Homo-oligomer: A and B are copies of this chain.
Amino acid sequence: MGRMSVGERRSALVAAAFTVIATRGLPAASIRTIVAEAGMSLASFHYAFTSREELLDVLIAETTASERSAVLPGQISGHSLHDLFAEGLGGYLEHLRARPEREQAMLELTQYAVRSRPDLAREQYGAYQEIALATLELVAAETGCQWLVPAPTVARLLVYLTDGLTIGWLVDRDTDAARATIEAAARALSTLART
């Protein structure tokens, strides 16, 4: 492996780590398998990071927010509140179906963070909720509706649903059931606002 800056090496290792976690799971993501995935020697890892733990910290901080924010909105245009919820959650389900390994990896990283890096987990979860909140406020402004419960509460409910949908679909891969549940959720959620 040729000469790389520390920054390049770190990026390459973070990307390789995510690939390994997505394809084989977090327990399989040892330093050895990560450097193998990145095509580096074992020792070069500790030239870029002081420990495996440090790499996981960076991985969580860099991926969680960007990954999830990339998923949400799409464009907004004049539909009903029900349709906006249904399209938003339906779009997420399509993303999940297209790249299940990615969301599985996110879930494993969240689990690890809750256990071993609680502050980091909290921070990322907060960022995630703010994205949901911003989307909801955009929706409210667009459709001219008003929330009957505080918007942050609706945002949190949306996050609950998204996490639950992720686990549920990853477990049984029942897309039809997931779609029907999204439809019911959209119907229920849309009653939390008045036009």
Q: Are B25 and A188 in contact (CB under 8 A)?
A: no
Q: Are A153 and B192 in contact (CB under 8 A)?
A: no
Per DSSP, chain A at the interface is: helix
Expressed in whole angstroms, the Cα–Cα distance for A121 and B167 within the complex equals 11
Binary flags per residue of A152-195, CB closer than 8 Å to B gives 1, else 0: 11101101111111011011100001101101110111011000
- Report the copy number of this chain in the oligomer: 2
Which residues on the B side are within 8 Å of A177 (C-beta)? 152-153, 156
A51 at the interface (CB under 8 A from B): no
Take A149-B187, A153-B181, A184-B153 as given contacts and tell me if A160 and B171 are in contact as well, using a CB distance cutoff of 8 Å.
no
Residues of A in contact, count (CB < 8 Å): 45
Q: Are B156 and A181 in contact (CB under 8 A)?
A: yes
Which residues on the B side are within 8 Å of A46 (C-beta)? none
Quick one: which of A115, A165, A187 has the most chain B CB within 10 A?
Answer: A115
Binary flags per residue of A124-159, CB closer than 8 Å to B gives 1, else 0: 011000000000000000000000011011101101
Which residues on the B side are within 8 Å of A42 (C-beta)? none
Which residues on the B side are within 8 Å of A189 (C-beta)? 188
Q: Are B188 and A157 in contact (CB under 8 A)?
A: yes
Q: Are B104 and A115 in contact (CB under 8 A)?
A: yes
A107 at the interface (CB under 8 A from B): yes
Chain B residue nearest to A173 in the complex (CB): B122
A27 at the interface (CB under 8 A from B): yes
Which residues on the B side are within 8 Å of A178 (C-beta)? 156
Take A111-B108, A189-B188 as given contacts and tell me if A164 and B171 are in contact as well, using a CB distance cutoff of 8 Å.
no
Expressed in whole angstroms, the Cα–Cα distance for A164 and B104 within the complex equals 15
Which residues on the B side are within 8 Å of A184 (C-beta)? 149, 153-154, 157, 192
